[in-house]
Amino acid sequence: MVLLQSDEAQRSHGQPQYRTDEETRRLIVAAATEEFLERGFTASVDAVARRAGVSKKTIYRVVATKAELLIALLAERREALWLTIDLGRIGGMGPRDALEYVLGKLARLALSKEFIGLCRVISAESLHFPGMAMAFYNEEPKRSLNLITDLLEQLRKRGLVDLKDPAAAAAMLLHMITGPLFAATILGLEKAPCEAEIDRQVKAGVAIFLQGCATTGTRAE
């Protein structure tokens, strides 16, 4: 991997320090997250650069625009979460365990304080930057829906659920679990729920869902 000299080191007279592209990106992402959460979309790239200890030119080597930087932050958090999802485990699970496992992971991302804060920024700017809103939708809600749809299709093929339209069922299931909590939190009516609250919501939602679509032999799983 190519090593980049740190901008701070280039401005100093001491021994140069080096960091990798990935380390530089992590610094930028962390700094940009703090700036966007504190100042919304009015956060400047100059402020992000100062907080990260890099040059503005370095940031523009990573992303072309401030809107792209915001989408990169959300993608970074999503990827970190998705790395914790072991899709290989799901094949041996019953419908209840499989759905609770996947939905629990996704709900933790959607209902996290940072994610909701960044979603507020995107919502506020969506009319002015429709491309940013579409990029966000493709990065997170759509990808989560696709994952749940694929899972329901696998369960259907295994004869564990009775569904005619897995995609529609996935949208209903995800909304039932995250919708009310997300809406109240993004409007500032409630604080971001703790993990115990998320777990309760996931278990309740999955139980109700399976009452309607699980096959006779799997309703108790």
28, 54 Cβ separation under 8 angstroms: yes
**Cross-strand bridge partners of residue 19:** 4
pLDDT of residue 221: 53
Distance of alpha carbon 191 from the chain centroid: 18
pTM: 0.75
Rounded mean pLDDT, 95-115: 90
List, for residues 31-60, the tens digit of each pLDDT value.
998 999 899 888 899 999 999 999 999 998
Summarize pLDDT for 181-208 with one digit per residue, the tens.
Answer: 888 888 888 888 899 999 999 999 999 9
Please report the pLDDT score of residue 15 as a whole number. Answer: 44
Instruction: Please give the domain boundaries of the chain with CATH numbers for all domains.
Output: 3-62 (1.10.10.60), 75-218 (1.10.357.10)
Residue with tokens 């993004």: 186
